[in-house]
């Protein structure tokens, strides 16, 4: 009796274990098939890379920064991206607003910032607080904050740009969409690199943090108007040398450093 009861109890348990194993196998096969389907879908629809931003083509107004003891920095300005900001910057530069101001905030690998009239006085504590007396509306665009980009600084709130700007020294894509981009370095990026490497008051012991220990002064900003492309001049008919002339090396040509590209 005991033996019969024992066999009757074991056989259903064995069958239950067998059914459980079969069910587990079916689930496993289902997961494998589903996984293969997902992999195939992913391979058929790979993630598309973000398209590169197309900067506007010229001719454009340009700004030449004459920076004391560092040289010149040439910026190309883009009215197509920020017409109000570009017009304001040009007007301020032409009236001498930036003359004698400094790059008051320098963060290596990130950016250099200037354009504050407060930097002309002898109080380092108010550097970064000044402006032209008005605020500019934000002019958002898809322009990226990559190396050489020029954008307006703000207070962290909308529509608070004025005269302060920054030049991106290292890519800062986390700023995309947060500042008005209005230009880009066209020549002299090595000057921005040199400014970014100056020694700074990192922790703000004598003023605001990241202020250069020695002033990096913008003597003036010269604005160059855009120039329409010139038609090539007609070449004169070649003439043969006379009996008293002698062919020699062509006179060296002069190419101004900031000639229209």
Give the whole-angstrom CA distance, residue 159 versus residue 108: 27
Only one residue has tokens 């589903």, namely 34
Torsion angle (degrees, nearest 10) of CA 88, 137, 50, 74: 10
The CATH superfamily label for domain 62-224 reads Cyclophilin-like (2.40.100.10)
Domains of the chain, by residue range, sit at 62-224
15 versus 120: which is more confidently predicted?
A: 120
Give the whole-angstrom CA distance, residue 218 versus residue 156: 25
Would you state the pLDDT for residue 58?
A: 82
How much of the chain exceeds pLDDT 90, in percent? 66
pLDDT band, residue 59 (cuts 50/70/90):
very high
Give the whole-angstrom CA distance, residue 79 versus residue 89: 11
Asked whether the beta carbons of 36 and 154 are under 8 A apart, the reply is no
148 versus 47: which is more confidently predicted?
A: 148
Is the pTM above the cut of 0.85? no
Would you state the pLDDT for residue 261?
A: 41
pLDDT band, residue 227 (cuts 50/70/90):
confident
Q: How high does pLDDT run on average in the chain?
A: 80
Q: What is the pLDDT of residues 155-214, one digit of tens each?
A: 999 999 999 999 999 999 999 999 999 999 999 999 999 999 999 999 999 999 999 999
- Tell me the catalytic residues: 105, 110, 113, 154, 166, 175, 179
DSSP state of 32: H
């Amino acid at each position: 009796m005991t033996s019969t009861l024992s066999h009757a109890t074991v056989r259903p348990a064995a069958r239950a274990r067998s059914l459980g194993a079969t069910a587990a196998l079916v689930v496993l096969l289902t997961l494998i098939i589903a996984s293969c389907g997902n992999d195939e879908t992913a391979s058929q629809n790979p993630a598309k890379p973000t398209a590169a931003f197309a900067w506007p083509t010229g001719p454009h107004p340009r700004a030449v920064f004459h920076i004391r003891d560092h040289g010149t920095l040439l910026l190309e300005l883009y009215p197509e991206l920020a017409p109000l900001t570009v017009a304001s910057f040009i007007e301020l530069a032409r009236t001498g607003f930036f003359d004698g101001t400094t790059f008051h905030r320098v963060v290596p690998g990130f950016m250099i910032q200037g354009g504050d009239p407060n930097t002309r006085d002898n109080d380092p504590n108010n550097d970064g607080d000044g402006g032209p007396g008005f605020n500019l509306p934000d002019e958002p665009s898809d322009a990226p904050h990559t190396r050489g980009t020029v954008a307006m600084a703000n207070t962290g709130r909308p529509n608070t740009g004025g005269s302060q700007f920054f030049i991106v020294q290292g890519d800062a894509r986390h700023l995309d969409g947060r500042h008005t981009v209005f230009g880009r370095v066209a020549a002299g990026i090595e000057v921005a690199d040199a400014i970014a490497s100056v020694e700074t008051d990192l922790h703000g012991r004598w003023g605001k943090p990241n202020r250069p220990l020695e002033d990096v002064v913008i003597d003036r900003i010269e604005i160059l108007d855009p120039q329409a492309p010139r038609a090539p001049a007609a070449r004169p008919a070649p003439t043969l040398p006379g009996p008293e002339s002698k062919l020699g090396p062509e006179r060296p040509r002069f190419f101004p450093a900031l000639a229209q590209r």
